[in-house]
Structure 1
Amino acid sequence: MNNKSNKFIRRKKRNKIIKRLILGLFVIIVGIIIFIYKSPIFNLKKIDITGLVTLSNESLQENLKYYIGQNIFTIDYNEIEKELKENPYIKEIKVNKKGINSLNINIKENKIAYYFESDGKIKAINNEGVIVEELDKMNDRNLIKLTGIDLSGKTVGDKISDNINILDTLEKFYNIIEVMPQEYIFSQIEIENLNNIVCYIGNIEIMIGDSSDLTDKMNLALNAIEQGVISKGYIDMSFNGPAVIKQIN
């Protein structure tokens, strides 16, 4: 009888201990959750945006400034994606937490890199030579000016040309633009004569000739610029043989 009583008492004590442990664990979990959601150390302080080609980081940061100071665990990432995707230049977005108070937003742009000025409008062009937008002002768009084609009468959705060589040239340039340092980006590309393409980086005129070996030609030009061989003048690669580099003071 005493053994049964002792077992009952021990069981009861054990159950009380388990209940207390469960209650204590519950209190700890609730405390952690409250701490995470209320502590200012988890408030968003910084947003890093990667993957930009033509869009302005400053402009996108301005659009997202409302989220700074909000708790990183309560921010609705879907709302961020929805807000950013209102921009026609953005194709895909991935939002990830970075540490306890910062976010990383990786953006994959629609391949829009160029513009023509025609009919009093700025016509944004993608890598396939299609007009995707008409603008009155450039605003924050970092697009590269194209010259050498008449776009009179062309509107959104039209290709700038049926010439496959022109479209192929735009694609080749876009592949280079994607990886170029922003400080050396093209300001203008002339495609009136595809055998004598000319582009500009700052005060430097680059005579490319045709678009064959375009990546190699641009690597040569960028190396000359980065190494300080030329800061103003021209680089002529429009003929067979070594490039001619002329510095103008």
Structure 2
Amino acid sequence: MVKSNNIYIRKKRKKRLIKRCILLLILLLGILTFVAYKTEFFSVEKIVYKGDSLITGEFIKTNVEEAKGSNIIIFNTDELIKKLMQNPYVATVTISKKLPKTLEVNVDEKKGIYYQKNGNSFDIISEDLHLLERTNSLEGKNLIEIKGLNTKDKEVGMKIEENTRLEKVLNLLYKAEEKMQKDNKGVSITSLDVNDMSNMKIYFGDIQVLLGNDENLTKKLSDAMNIYIQAKPKEYIKVSHEGSPDYK
């Protein structure tokens, strides 16, 4: 009988302990919830900017700074990212929460590399064929003129056309131009004509370079650059056919 009573007492104590633990847990959760949602402990005070935002910097900062004072736990980063992505120059955005008070914003920009004349204005175009900007002046911009794209019915932010072949060409030409500038050999791609992908042309200043199609384009560019530097042609360089290049 005594043994039975002891078992009963232990069970009763155990139940009381469990109830107390549950109540304590509920109390702690309540306190944490209050601290998280009802105090300024998790209020956004600091914003750290990373990545490339040379062009979009002011736009990014203006919109992101509005997050200051918001509760970092319930702050909707997806909505802010969606808003920032409306800028045509923004390629990607990531926003990380660093508790208790910091947002980390990482921006990757599209680069305006080419421009095409459009009436009295200029269309700024990225290497992946997005129309980034329509401007009346090219002052301060070091861009390559491109001919042969249809941008008249396109709005800023839109992709001009789906053409992976052309994108590869534009990317390759951009990298070639970067290398030319880095090597500083006095040669630069100033414009290109992609009206006919089987008969493409680029220009080193006033010198026309006939590339033909996009096969062996890297070699063609290298040959054309060497001829321009060493032979100093006056009119054209032709690397569009097999065999030795021609120039005049």
TM-score when normalising by structure 2 = 0.59
Task: Give 1:108 deviation, angstroms.
Answer: 3.1
Amino acid at match of 1:169: L
> How many pairs were matched up?
186
Alignment of 1:196-235 (within 5 A): none
Aligned position for 2:89: 89
Bigger CA radius of gyration: 2
Aligned position for 1:15: 15
- Give the secondary structure class of the aligned counterpart of 2:33: helix
Alignment of 1:1-249 (within 5 A): 1-52=1-52, 54-116=54-116, 118-128=118-128, 130=129, 132-136=131-135, 144-146=141-143, 155=152, 156=154, 157=160, 168-173=172-177, 191-192=190-191, 194-195=203-204, 239=229
Question: Structure 1 residues 48 and 120, CA, compared in 2 at 3 Å: closer, same or farther?
Answer: farther
Distance 1:196 1:123 in 2: 21
Q: Between the two proteins, what is the percent identity of the paired residues?
A: 22
Distance 2:56 2:110 in 1: 14
Amino acid at match of 1:43: S
Gaps of 5+ in 1: 181-188, 198-209, 213-237, 241-249
Amino acid at match of 1:68: K
Distance 1:77 1:196 in 2: 47
Task: Give 1:48 deviation, angstroms.
Answer: 2.4
CA-based RMSD of the aligned residues comes to 3.9
Distance 2:54 2:121 in 1: 19
Deviations 1:144-192 (A, max 9, x none): 3426556797534279xx8x97763324457999xx9xxxxxxxx8604
Task: Give 1:102 deviation, angstroms.
Answer: 1.1
TM-score when normalising by structure 1 = 0.58
Deviations 1:9-31 (A, max 9, x none): 22112210221012112211221
Does the 8 Å contact 1:127/1:171 carry over to 2?
no
Gaps of 5+ in 2: 155-159, 183-187, 192-201, 207-219, 223-227, 231-248
Task: Give 1:109 deviation, angstroms.
Answer: 3.0
Distance 1:152 1:38 in 2: 56
Deviations 1:99-131 (A, max 9, x none): 421111223334444445542223111125x36
